[in-house]
Amino acid sequence: MSRTRGLASIRRRSGFTLIELLVVIAIIGLLSAIVLASLNTARTKGQDAARIADTKSLETAMELYYNDNNKYPNTNMAPDTGYGLAGNASLTAALVPKYIASIPAILAADGDQYAWSSAYGYGLWIYTAGNTSGNGFCRTGQNPNPGWWGNPPTGGICNF
């Protein structure tokens, strides 16, 4: 009879307890949360890299326009005023398709702005998620300093 008890106790010990299963589930949940947080950071950095590349392309288009016309596109807007890139038909007409294939969609969607002045040139107000100053916006372009987006201008100078 003792031999039967020994086999029965071995069979009972061969499974996992509820506590062991809960600990394993908690560890898996913690590891998956860490991985998802890392992926979200990588996604944000990737989107910022795309914004920076698109900004550089737009700046190159502006310089090509300047080389051909001896001025930056004024896009029929009041000088020293920031206008959104989204739906800016005058800027699109000045640059597309000769200087750039299209105004980058991500820059238009972010609410980025273009400002122009015959005295100062042009400036861009660009959003990047990794930028903590100026609500994520920074300034770039041929001359981003004349106060187009407030005085002092909102956001720092872009460091790209």
**Nearest partner of 159 among 143, 139, 134, judged by Cα:** 139
pLDDT digits (tens, 9 = 90+) for 85-98: 877 888 888 899 99
| Residue 103 lies inside a defined structural domain of this protein | yes
Q: Which residues pair with 114 in a beta bridge?
A: 83, 124
Q: In the chain, how many domains are there? A: 1
Which CATH number characterizes residue 19's domain? 3.30.700
75 pLDDT band (50/70/90 cuts)?
low
Is-cis flag, bond preceding 152, omega within 30? yes
Contact criterion met (CB below 8 Å) for 56 and 108: no
| Residue 151 lies inside a defined structural domain of this protein | no
| Residue 133 lies inside a defined structural domain of this protein | yes
Determine the structural domain holding residue 96 and report its residue range. Answer: 2-140
pLDDT digits (tens, 9 = 90+) for 120-144: 889 998 998 877 766 788 889 988 8
